Structure 1
């Protein structure tokens, strides 16, 4: 294994993940879910999972264990999130795409299937465009993509306007950190990202609260969050360039999108799907922005056959009963 040390917090342990920290121009936290023995012929292409804005490796605990039956599965905390420290500069989507490229080269050591949610979908596409030799396929789950002109979700729009405004965004996040408990902050994210917050796994929420409490002691986390958010909005502000980048990706792509996503409306996914007819697209009714957390069984039922169909996983028939 690439030189790594055990992570101080092992939050993914209940789901079979082991946390590690590697030095990739600074400490980077990642979770190893293992996989089949690479020598027995039953291993598919390795899978690297990439969380969204404000997310972490915990976003993948509902999906990673199942995929690790046929793939070596990794979940990375991007710079500025989870247990990976970051700054406004290192947490941008462009910087995290380069960090992810280095992770694939130095830790995984072979091309991977990237599974990205929200901002993680954008980072995955930036990597696929810049370093196609590192990417065998893309699974985009409610990725950050250009939004067609329509009536926006006013609460979401107002929040991102605050993030975009210098000084105001910093003050807003500092106030929210002071006023809200860790559990309130985690529940607020669930309420925003789930169509039905009642579907949230209490164990995942509890782990998220532990992580939020740990992050209170991490310096500069608000600056990193805003650096990431502002870089994401900058990419979205040039939709022509972003659409061109997406259409230039020459790897198999699966787009999965919740029809009740408040952050990236389903109309955006339908428009991107129409522009990229080679992509396979699945829409999930009554589901929000994080389907892999809200309806993990439905996401698995979509992703596993797609991986097989594109020769990225061993066929089910290769396994003995």
Structure 2
């Protein structure tokens, strides 16, 4: 596939109990290894704007988790736990050395749990609006709440997804951007077109709705287990950079602020007027700050 050709990435596949799609964005061989991990319903395209900027100083790859992007389920589970295991195998078999994990949304959740329980293969962790437990007393976005309620109910979730896919691919892309971006107008046209193309490719494959719903329900379940989630955070010993857009409709910024207060040694940046995907809305700002954080924590050279 060449869905990322215009963004400087090369599509690859590796067999991890079935084909796993990943994208090599290149970068200096002596730079640190960075693995980008997308969110629920996302793909390698979520990193297409940020990855080339990071690749100026790091060797950057993005992986499509099972059931997402161009990694079809192939009989594999798509839960948070299963994709955490898949990420670990990808790091071991494809990268082959310790990495800096950069995860957005569900990908942040997965990256955090992988870091907590596999400290020997992660040198740094960047959490970009990660899925987090809700803070008591905050009011979730009504659209987000109703959407995840539908996802969680057997039967309703299936019908809701089927109905949403009757819209043209372009409208499906626009709906997602309206949910995750504070200003969808900043997303380049070529990225929207690449997303449309990906929807077309995925429409040829059966079983993806079930895979998505299993992942969505797993995210809801995992974030509801506050004790286990915060225990995992407490195990992390590598440098952490947490960031959040203050207009994130999916993960209320109050949750990020709460985590930042609990972990004052983590770096925390908050972006005014930005939604759930800062790496797509303000890639230049995110890349500048991540690379500076890497330098400050001496992560700017390869661990090899």
Shorter-chain TM-score tier? over 0.9
Aligned to 2:220: 233
Aligned residues: 301
1:51-70 to 2 correspondence within 5 Å?
51-70=38-57
**Alignment partners' CA distance in 1, 2:219 and 2:27:** 32
> Contact (CA 8 Å) 1:78, 1:84: kept in 2 or not?
yes
Q: Deviations over 1:97-155 (max 9, x none)?
A: 11010010010000000000000000101111221111111000000011112121111
Q: Deviations over 1:231-281 (max 9, x none)?
A: 111111111210111121111100111010000011000001111111100
Q: Deviations over 1:185-238 (max 9, x none)?
A: 111010000101111111111100000111111111101100100111111111
Which of 137, 145, 148 pairs up with 1:160?
Answer: 148
Structure 1: which 5+ runs fail to align? Answer: 1-8, 316-321
Aligned to 1:243: 230
**What TM-score comes out, normalization by structure 1 length?**
0.91
Which of 257, 263, 284 pairs up with 1:297?
Answer: 284
Does residue 288 in structure 1 map to residue 280 in structure 2? Answer: no
> Contact (CA 8 Å) 2:125, 2:241: kept in 1 or not?
yes
Secondary structure of 1:166's partner?
coil
**Alignment partners' CA distance in 2, 1:123 and 1:314:** 24
**Alignment partners' CA distance in 1, 2:184 and 2:13:** 32
Aligned to 1:260: 247
Deviates more, 1:240-249 or 1:285-294: 240-249
CA positional deviation for 1:44: 2.5
CA RMSD in angstroms, aligned pairs only: 1.3
Aligned to 2:26: 34
Aligned to 1:80: 67
**Alignment partners' CA distance in 2, 1:111 and 1:122:** 19
**Alignment partners' CA distance in 2, 1:28 and 1:87:** 10
Which of 153, 160, 167 pairs up with 1:172?
Answer: 160
> Contact (CA 8 Å) 2:53, 2:284: kept in 1 or not?
no
**What TM-score comes out, normalization by structure 2 length?**
0.96
> Contact (CA 8 Å) 1:89, 1:227: kept in 2 or not?
no
> Contact (CA 8 Å) 2:10, 2:25: kept in 1 or not?
yes
**Alignment partners' CA distance in 1, 2:265 and 2:76:** 35
1:136-147 to 2 correspondence within 5 Å?
136-147=123-134
1:156-235 to 2 correspondence within 5 Å?
156-177=144-165, 179-235=166-222
Q: Deviations over 1:146-196 (max 9, x none)?
A: 11121211111011000001111111111211x211111111010000101
Structure 2: which 5+ runs fail to align? Answer: none
> Contact (CA 8 Å) 2:37, 2:104: kept in 1 or not?
yes
1:7-22 to 2 correspondence within 5 Å?
9-22=1-14
> Contact (CA 8 Å) 2:35, 2:99: kept in 1 or not?
yes
Secondary structure of 1:25's partner?
coil
Aligned to 1:276: 263
**Alignment partners' CA distance in 2, 1:24 and 1:250:** 28
Which of 83, 87, 93 pairs up with 1:100?
Answer: 87
